[in-house]
Every structure is written in structure tokens, then in C-alpha cells.
Structure 1
Amino acid sequence: MKTHLAPALRLTLVMLVLLAVIYPLLVAAVSRLAPGGGQGETVSVNGKVVGYARIGQAFTEDRYFNGRPSAVDYNAAGSAGSNKGPSNPDYLKTVQARIDTFLVHNPGVQKADIPAELVTASGSGLDPDLSPAAAKIQVARIAKIRGISASRLNQLVDEHTDGPLLGLFGPQKVNVLALNIALAEVK
């Protein structure tokens, strides 16, 4: 037993220093190279921070594009999805309530046409992006409220649509915060 105790203690000490000191310092150093210096990439308008580029936000006014619902009320400190399965009655009630709310605010849209991402939260609860279809289904509502032509709003969505990573990986997406900032500048 004594022959195994000393190496086990040395290994424990080495791993403790490596994983509890060196690795976190290395990750912190690498994060300084990321946009925002590891503090998150903020988005500013006229010198005022209005949000974070990679964290979803609640846009509840009908004059803006709505983002994806959040299971954590867009709290980045508690990033998580709902742990309720697709057959859970409480989850189904929540989704149905979101569908009903969406239909009230978007007359003329049929339930079958609503993209799932507009009524279901993402796995992180913080998804800042929508598909172009989810943004475009809201165009009629925003055009009516703001008095902007639907074709101009569709063009705005197209201008803010990012393609797949390297042209291959993932879907097209629209950052809702960037789109709403651009929308606010349209006269």
C-alpha cells in the first residue's frame, strides 16, 4: 500500500495544479483574444450598449421582430433549456399559449405556417438568431405598424441574413438584435 500511496498523492497534486490552476489561466488568456476580450461582444448604438451579439433578448413590442422564446428569461447566468419533453402537458400548454399569442399579434398567419422556433425555446434559452422564414413571417405585422413597405422589410431581412459557416455548416440565420437595430434606422 505504501508503494502506491506516494505516487497517488504526487499524481493528485500534479493534476490539481494542472486542472485547477494552469488550465483555467490558459482558458482565460485565450479568451482575451476573442471579440469583447472574453467579456462578451457588446453591441452599441450611438455609444450606448444595447445588448450582446450572441445572447438573445426579449423583443415584445409589435413594432420589432420577435426573437426566439427563452426558458430562462434571457438570463445568461442561468443558461438552460426546459427539461420538459415534447409530450409534457405543461410544455404543450406553454407552446400553445405562445402560438395563440403569436396568432393574435400576427393576424392572417395560419398556425401551420408558424416556424417552430418562434414558439419553442432553444436548448440554451439564449439563441439570438432566427431563420429567415421566422423573420419574414413577421413582416406584415411590422409593415402595418411602422408604415414601411413589406418589400423594404423583406429586403432588410435579406441584408441581415448570414449564410452557413464556411458556406457549408448550419442553416442561414438572422440575428434579431442586429435586424431590430437596422429596423429602427429605417425611415
Structure 2
Amino acid sequence: MEDKAISPTESLQIIEKMLADTRNRFYNNGFAFLFWGLLIIIICLTSFATHALGHEGRDGWIWGIGISVGIIATAMYFWKIAPKTRKFTRLDAINGKVWIGYAISYFVLMFLCAHYHLFAPPFIYLLLGMGMFITGGIYKFWSLYAGAIIFWLGAVISALLPMNNSQLLLTSLLMFLGYLLPGYILWKKAKGEAHV
């Protein structure tokens, strides 16, 4: 049987369909943006409330417990739940490696900031902006590019603000605008395209 040659137009249509299929499945993967955005906002507001009540020394516990819960929940989702509900594409695998790289860089950054007595949030926002930008490029979603820009601007603003409770409010705002909102827009768009 002879293989049929496809035209450049047909080739482009196949590529566009593959990208659309990936976007249609990605609404399930929107879990990470929605979950982490909401979790960090809750951690920030809890920390802000403890400061307001005069319990400043509780920050380490609040962040440690919150991040640990987030890591466990994310691992459970991607190892147990997501494989049953969706098929992962090569783009999903690449994106997963981006965020694994982010997580490793985050922990190394935390060590370096503690060792050199540096204020970590501006550097965290810088890393988040990079992760969002790369993910936006992988999936071609404008809301993720917008999230990246918000985090990069947040890094500059954070460096200019005093190191007090205002940083917790800034983090909450950045997570809402730069992570939760773009993740929700992405989830809704992909869900609509998938007719779910």
C-alpha cells in the first residue's frame, strides 16, 4: 500500500488539532494552578492573621505545614488521580519537568536565602514568572504569559516594599492575579473547548 503524501495545509491542521487536544485535556491539569494559588493565599492570610494577633513566631510552622500538605496533595493527584482521568501528552511531560525543575530550584533557593540571610520572596516570584512563561509557551495560553508578567513585576515590587506584613498581602495578591486567575481562565477555556 502506498503512503499518501500530505500537503503543508493538512500537516498544519494535524498540528493544530494536536495542540487543541492537549489544551482540551489540560483543564484537568489546571488543578496545580488552582490548588497552589488557593493554598498559598490561605497560608498568607493565616500568617497575616497570626501576626495581627501577636503570634509572629508561628510563620515557620504555618508555611512548613502548608507547603508539606501541598506537596503531598499534588503528588497524590498526579500519581493516583490524574492518570485515571486523562492521557498525558509529550507536552504534558515537558511541562511536568518544568515544574519539577521549579520545585527543586525553590528548595535550593530557600537554602541559599537562609545561608546568605537574603529575603526570598522576590526570587520566588522570579522563578514563578519563568515557570509560568515556559508553560504559557508550551500550551500557547495568553493567561499564563500574563501571569508571568505579574510575577516578574511582583518581584520588583516586593524588593521595594518593607519586609513586614505588607509582603504577605502582596503575595496573596500576586498568587490571585498571577496564578489562580490565569489558571481559572485556562481551565474554563479548555473545559469549554472540550465541551465538559
Q: Normalization by structure 1: what TM-score?
A: 0.25
In terms of fraction of residues, the more helix-rich structure is 2
Which of the pair has more CA radius of gyration? 1
Q: Which has the higher contact order (CA 8 A, sep 6+)?
A: 2
Q: Normalization by structure 2: what TM-score?
A: 0.24
In terms of fraction of residues, the more strand-rich structure is 1
